[in-house]
Amino acid sequence: MFLVDTHTHVYEPQFDEDRESSIVASQEAGVAHLILPNIDVESIPRMHSLKALYPDYVSEAMGLHPTSVKADFREQLGVIHDEFDVRPYVAIGEIGIDLYWDKTYLAEQIEAFETQIDWSVERNLPIIIHAREAWEVVFSSLDRFPLDKIRGVFHSFSGDEADLERALSYPHFCIGINGVVTFKKNTLQSLLQQIPPKRLLLETDSPYLAPVPHRGRRNEPAYMVHTANHIAHCLDIDVAILAQATTENACRLFDLSLNLERLKPSL
């Protein structure tokens, strides 16, 4: 059984003491590949360092996270834009809108988000969308672009049924599910059946949002096994079938070349 963690920040300082052992643990758990979304200008060197250590095991995405959008966002975007001329990236991200922590820079967040969507259209790259208490704003920005030109994933989906229906109306987008789905009072479980198998992705968002039974601790890629098992139970399918379907989805969206010969037939 292979899994792909489509969203991890394992390059962050929370892993400085035991990053290598965390990577080994993820490999032993059956996590075949990691995708690293960038955060801001300061995180770029850390992400590149991890890529240098594990060139075949990790892929990078480049973008400016909405909570990092401040008064200097255009300068940061300039640095990030130049990165695409230096090395290959599998996506533009993590980008989007976050109105949970601070609404001060809403206009700047929207400009940064739409600028980076423009880049994705120009470069034919998927986008990794962060949306927190901002679904209508995110949808409004996406609606400014042709449906056949935009693709990506709604990372760490946290919306309700109406938000899911709207998200799925964008035909080339997947839904990213992480450890939150294992939380006791989370309503996401009731929406899983509504997500088409070919549009489901698994992720950790580590070091955040560790699944049960590790909730409250630092999350890491190896823990995605718990999320996969929980989702498979909710959907009443074998976890190996879920693993293959979501791995194939990740390979298709992010243009990954992984050895899938040992995987069983998909959904």
Q: Is 233 annotated as a binding residue?
A: no
| pLDDT score at 185 | 85
Q: Residue 151 carries which side chain, given as an amino acid letter? A: R
Strands (E), 99-165: 127-132, 152-154
- Give the end-to-end CA distance of the chain in Å, rounded to a whole number: 15
Nearest to 212 by CA among 224, 200, 203: 224
Q: Is 205 annotated as a binding residue?
A: yes
Per-residue pLDDT of the chain (267 residues; tens, 9 = 90+): 899 999 999 999 999 999 999 999 999 999 999 999 999 999 999 999 999 999 999 999 999 999 999 999 999 999 999 999 999 999 999 999 999 988 999 999 999 999 999 999 999 999 999 999 999 999 999 999 999 999 999 999 999 999 999 999 999 999 999 999 999 988 999 999 999 999 999 999 999 999 999 999 999 999 999 999 999 999 999 999 999 999 999 999 999 988 655 444 333
The Cβ-side half-sphere exposure at 263, using a 13 Å CA radius, reads 22
Task: Give CA–CA dist 184/180, Å, rounded.
Answer: 9
Query: Domains (ranges, CATH) in the chain?
Result: 3-254 (3.20.20.140)
Q: Is 81 annotated as a binding residue?
A: no
Task: Give CA–CA dist 202/66, Å, rounded.
Answer: 22
Q: Is 172 annotated as a binding residue?
A: no
Q: Is 226 annotated as a binding residue?
A: no
Q: Is 155 annotated as a binding residue?
A: yes
List of residues 6+ apart from 198 with CB closer than 8 A: 245, 249, 267
Task: Give CA–CA dist 178/16, Å, rounded.
Answer: 23
The Cβ-side half-sphere exposure at 73, using a 13 Å CA radius, reads 23
| pLDDT score at 221 | 98
Task: Give CA–CA dist 42/267, Å, rounded.
Answer: 41
| pLDDT score at 200 | 98
